[in-house]
Structure 1
Amino acid sequence: VVLQNLLMCVILFYAVYYAVLGMGCMTLKVSELDVLAPFDFKTNPSWLNTNYKVLLVSTEVTYFVCGLLFVLVVEEWVWDYTISVTILHVAVIST
């Protein structure tokens, strides 16, 4: 049950991330964002860089929305699943 809930949370996390990323690209008129954007840690952090702003806002909105949606999936121990998804995401980015 725990692994099933974790898998659902990971799928939900990336689904929300790509949805928010798509809306951010349309809003800020970014046409050249890579499909692997959630895994991009080499973007130059600058407020003048529109790609950086899209990635930053997408990440923040995704964590906020997923924190609320995880309650519907797991109903309890939400922070454990949120931290587990975060650790998994960082591990995937780091490799």
Structure 2
Amino acid sequence: MVLQGSQAAAIKAITLHILLCLLIFYTVYYMIWSICCGIFRLKTFGLLTPFEFKTEPSFSSPDYLAKVLATSLTFFTSGLLFAVLLRRWVWDYAITVTLTHVLLTFAVMKEFPFIWQWWLALASDLLLMICSGELVTYLACSDANNLSGDKF
């Protein structure tokens, strides 16, 4: 089946948006992680930190607290930035980026995370990303969508 011009353009735009959202997500993560390393005075800056789920869950551990804080702030901030980039359907891209992140985590760590705290944090952070992005989209972009005649 041959794609028509508008379908090919739509697929190209969606693919570009997914790639941009992934770039935003990981750029924001490393920026926030570097700040958390300084705040918590951690000695190591691991490049595999976004994919690390083996850290023992303990609120007395500065490493664990830094990772939880960095992840939550990344999801929140990414939701806001996705809203600026996309202006609608933030929830769809947030779920896609999170699923891609989970798949990359499996690939990088070469094992399935059985730690329920990791899954709980991931699910709550995804909800945080969706809510922050959709709220900004609703508040900032609803007038622009109504003026242009877009309805979905």
TM-score range for the pair, normalised by the shorter chain length: over 0.9
1:20 aligns with 2:32: yes
Detail structure 1 runs of 4+ shifted over 3 Å in the superposition.
none
- Counting matched residue pairs gives 95
Matching residue of 2:53: 41
1: CA distance, partners of 2:53 / 2:103: 12
- Residues 24 and 54 of structure 1 are in contact (CA less than 8 Å); yes or no, is this contact kept in structure 2? yes
Q: What is the CA–CA distance in structure 2 between the aligned matches of 1:32 and 1:10, rounded to whole Å?
A: 24
Q: Give percent identity, aligned residues only.
A: 36
Contact 1:44-1:52 within 8 A present in 2 as well? yes
Report the alpha carbon displacement of residue 62 of structure 1 after superposing the two structures with TM. Answer: 0.5
Aligned mate of 1:62, from 70, 74, 77: 74
TM-score relative to the length of structure 1: 0.96
Q: TM-score, normalised by structure 2?
A: 0.61
Give the conservation status (yes or no) of the 8 Å contact 1:17–1:59: yes
Q: Output one character per residue of 1:9-55: Cα deviation in whole Å (capped at 9) or x when no partner.
A: 00000000000000001011111231111011111111121111111
The amino acid across from 2:37 in the alignment is C
The AA in structure 2 aligned to 1:36 is: L
1:3 is the counterpart of 2:23: no
Please give the per-residue CA displacement for 1:50-95, whole angstroms capped at 9, x wherever unaligned. Answer: 1111110000000101101001111110010001000000111122
Residue of structure 2 equivalent to 1:85: 97
C-alpha separation in 1, matches of 2:47 and 2:21: 20
